Each structure stands twice: as C-alpha cells, then as structure tokens.
Amino acid sequence: MNGALFLAALGGPDDLPALLAIGDNQDLGWFRFTVLALCGRSQAVEALLRVMQEGPPVDVALAGIAFFRITGIDVQLPERIPLVPEGIPPDELSDEIKTCDPERAARGWESIKSSMGTLRWVRGNDVTSLAYDQLPHSLDLETRWSLQLRAAFEQPMANTSFDTERFPFT
C-alpha cells in the first residue's frame, strides 16, 4: 500500500491510469480515496465525483473529503452516518462521518475545472511549483508529507526538512 502512496505523491501525468485504477479498486477499501486525494489531479476529481453520485453512503462521504482535499470546496452536510464498512452493522461505539452533497460538489467542480488543467492541486491551490515553506499551516500532515517528498525528489540537492531532521546541527 505504501507504494501506492509514493506513486500518488511522486507520479506524473503518465502515471494517471495506474492511480485511477487504484481509485476504482473497491478491494482497497477506503485507502483508495487517500490515493486519489494525494494525486491531486483533475482526473482524480472526476473519479471522486462518480463515487459521490453512485457509491454507498460511507464511500460518498469519504469521496467528499478527498474532493475537499483537492479542490478546497467544502461539500459536507451536517448529517452524520456511522463510519463502518458496507455490510457491517454499526454499534453504539462506531465512529461517525459527515455526509456530503454530490450536487454541490458537481456545481463547484464545474466552476473551477477549467482552471485546473493538468496541474496538481491541494485545497484549491496549484502546488506544482509551490515551495514547502509557502504551504498553508492548515494542511493535514499527509498532504505536507507528499509535498515535501515531491520537493525532495524533484530537487535532491536542495536543503529540505529531511536534511534538518537527519543533521540537526548543520
């Protein structure tokens, strides 16, 4: 599974078919939404929209979260549902997740998709060439990890936070 995360973080446009296949693979469960969110490309948004319109309720909610991580458009509704895999009955200790509004997602996507192109997006921001120290502090750690990994991969000689962690006294 870690290989899929690395592919999502480092993959280019040529890797989109493999990433979309991971996103369509229901055997991977909820992990597939993490991969699509880290991919950050418009094709991933299209795949998420399909799930939001056709999928089971928990998948719809998780696709809405991944949609937000790419586009920055909040599509959550106040209603909550139990966060359990399909076919497993919830109990009183089950976690809950907010549902999402697929129609709001589709409208929001229509308003921004022409500006996305083939670039990589995080919360509605083009991060293709954004420096790590320019990232908003509100980003989740997984997204920060992927962006830092990409920066280190693209410019291996650059001074990154990985270097600071490894050599704190330099």
User: Could you tell me the residue ranges of all domains in the chain?
Assistant: 2-152
Cβ neighbours of residue 138 closer than 8 Å, sequence gap 6 or more: 123
Token readout for 122 is 């995080």
> If pLDDT is split at 50, 70 and 90, which confidence band does 162 have?
low
Alpha helices in 29-160 (DSSP H): 31-39, 42-54, 57-71, 102-116, 141-154
More confident residue, 62 or 137: 62
Residue 50 has a pLDDT of 96
> If pLDDT is split at 50, 70 and 90, which confidence band does 60 have?
very high
Among the ranges given (13-22, 34-43, 117-126), the one the predictor scored with the smallest mean pLDDT: 117-126
Q: Tell me the Ramachandran region of residue 87: left when phi exceeds 0, alpha when psi lies from -120 to 50, beta otherwise.
A: left
Query: Would you give the distance in Å from CA 68 to the centre of its chain?
Result: 8
Identify which of 121, 120, 145 has the alpha carbon closest to the alpha carbon of residue 5. Answer: 145
- CA torsion, ordered 80, 83, 88, 91, to nearest 10 deg: -70
The Cα 79–Cα 97 span in angstroms is: 8
pLDDT > 80? residue 135: no
- The tens digit of pLDDT for each residue in 30-51 reads 899 999 999 989 899 999 999 9
Q: What is the pTM of this model?
A: 0.83
Q: Dmax over Cα atoms in the chain, in whole Å?
A: 54
